[in-house]
Amino acid sequence: MANVSFVLNYTKTKAAPPARAIEYEKSFPTLDAALKFCVQLIELGGEALYIIKVVRGVEDEVFEGEALVRSIKRQRNRQEAA
C-alpha cells in the first residue's frame, strides 16, 4: 500500500487583511481525519486554506476553493447526523 498522507494548511483565525494571517500546517493519515479537523477549526473561528494529498512524499492532489468548502460541509452534515 502506498504511503499516503493529507497535509492541511490553515489559519487559526480569519484575519483582515488575509495577508496578515499566520499559516499553520498539520498532517493527517486520512482525508476524513483532515476534514473532521477542518469542521472543528471553522467552528472555533479558523479557516482551512487547502489540503494537499501526498503520496510517497510527492504532492499528488490539492483540495482547495469550492471543492474544499463542499467537502467540509459534507463532513459537517455527516457529523451532525451521527
Contacts of 24 (CB under 8 A, 6+ apart): 9, 10, 11, 12
**Percentage of residues in the chain with pLDDT exceeding 70?**
90
3-state SS class at 67: helix
What does the pLDDT look like over 45-66, one tens digit per residue? 899 999 999 999 999 999 999 9
- 20: containing domain: 4-64
Q: Evaluate whether residue 72 is within a structural domain.
A: no
Q: Evaluate whether residue 42 is within a structural domain.
A: yes
H or E stretch covering 32: helix 31-43
Total domains present in the chain: 1
Place of cell 471543492: 67
Q: What is the pTM of this model?
A: 0.87
The letter for the amino acid at 43 is: E
Q: Evaluate whether residue 71 is within a structural domain.
A: no
Q: Evaluate whether residue 15 is within a structural domain.
A: yes
Q: Evaluate whether residue 22 is within a structural domain.
A: yes
Residue-level pLDDT at 13: 78
Q: Evaluate whether residue 19 is within a structural domain.
A: yes
